[in-house]
Amino acid sequence: MAADLIAPFNIDLIKPVANIATVQSPRSTVVGLVTIPFSERITGVDLADFTLTLNGVLVPLTGVPFGRRVDSSTFFEMDLTSVTKLAGSYVLTLSATTSGIIDQAGNGLASNATISWVTDLIAPTVSMTLATVSPRNTAVGVITLDFSKPVTGLDLSDFTLVRNGSTVSLSSLTLTTVSTTRYTLNLSTVTATPGDYVFIFNAAPSGIIDAAANRLAVGAQR
C-alpha cells in the first residue's frame, strides 16, 4: 500500500506588535539606549522607520546606532545619546504604515509605536522673604521660601540659624508646606534672645531636586 502524503501548513493572520520601552520623564539627562521589543520575529525594520521630534520639529536620526540585540531575535536597540541633549518635549515614533516591517507570514506591523518624554535642564531657584526690621526689639516671625518650581527633599537640616557666632538648634521647629513651591518656617521661639542673628538656607549640601532631578541652584541668607 502506498504511503499517505502529508503536507502540514500554518495560516498566521496575527500582525506583529512593537513597543518602545518607556523612559523617565521629566528628566535632566540624555536618553541613552532605547529598547524596541516586537511580539514575534520580524524583518524589514531599519532606522528610516523611526522619527524623533523635539517640540514638534523633526530631529535627524542619521548616524544613530541601531540594530537587533545580540541576545534576542525580537528585541532591537537604538542609542539616542547624541540627539537628546537639548531641553524640550520629545516624541519617538515607529511607523507601521510607511515601514516594510513584516513577520514570517508576511503580516505587516499592527500599529505605530510611540513614546514621549520631557527633558528639563533648568535648575530650581529659591527666594527667601523675612518681614523684619533690623535692629528690632521683638522675635522674628515667619520666614517664607518660594521655589521657582515644585521640589522635593527640603527639610530642617537645610537651614542654619546663628546667634552671635553660635549655632541655634532648630529641632523644635516645624517646616510648613504651603504649596508645592512655597514653604514657611516660624522662627519666633528661637529668636527671642537678644543678639546678632544670621539665617542661612544651604543649597549645596541639600538633597533638594525638581521632578527632573535638577538640583537647587543657589541657597539664600538673611
| Domain CATH for 150 | 2.60.40
Confidence of residue 131 (pLDDT cuts 50, 70, 90): low
Number of domains in the chain: 2
- The pLDDT value given to residue 3: 65
Residue 16 included in any domain = no
In a domain, 4, yes or no: no
Domain boundary among 73, 101, 119: 119
Measure CA of the first residue to CA of the last residue in the chain; give whole Å: 105
Residues 177 and 204 in one domain: yes
Residue 156's Cβ-side half-sphere holds a number of Cα atoms within 13 Å equal to 13
Give the model's pLDDT for residue 70: 83
Q: 95 lies in a domain?
A: yes
77: left (phi over 0), alpha (psi -120 to 50) or beta: beta
Residues of the domain holding 59: 33-119
Asked if residue 57 and residue 96 are part of one domain, the reply reads: yes
Residues 59 and 146 occupy one common structural domain: no
Cβ neighbourhood burial of 202 (10 Å; 0-12, 13-18, 19+): middle
Are 57 and 110 found together in one domain?
A: yes
What is the reported pLDDT for 122? 94
Q: What is the mean pLDDT of the chain?
A: 90
Side chain identity at 105, as an amino acid letter? A
Domain-terminating residue out of 119, 143, 177:
119
Q: Which residues contact 134 (CB under 8 A, 6 or more apart)?
A: none
159 and 110, same structural domain?
no
Separation of CA 182 from chain center: 22
Are 155 and 207 contained in the same domain? yes
- 54 in a structural domain: yes
Look at residue 220 in the predicted model and tell me its pLDDT: 52
Predicted confidence at residue 133, as pLDDT, reads 75
pLDDT of residue 2: 63
pTM for this prediction: 0.81
133 and 79 co-located in one domain: no
Same domain, 111 and 132: no
Listed range (29-38, 43-52, 189-198, 201-210) with the worst mean pLDDT: 201-210
- 152 with 174, same domain: the answer is yes
How far is Cα 103 from Cα 74, in angstroms, rounded to an integer? Answer: 11
Note whether 103 and 137 are same-domain residues. Answer: no
Of 101, 119, 137, the domain-final residue: 119
Query: How does pLDDT run across 139-178, given as a tens digit for each residue?
Result: 888 999 999 999 999 999 999 999 999 999 999 999 999 9
If asked whether residues 132 and 96 sit together in one domain, one would say no
Whether residues 114 and 141 share a domain: the answer is no
Instruction: Check pLDDT > 60 for residue 219.
Output: no
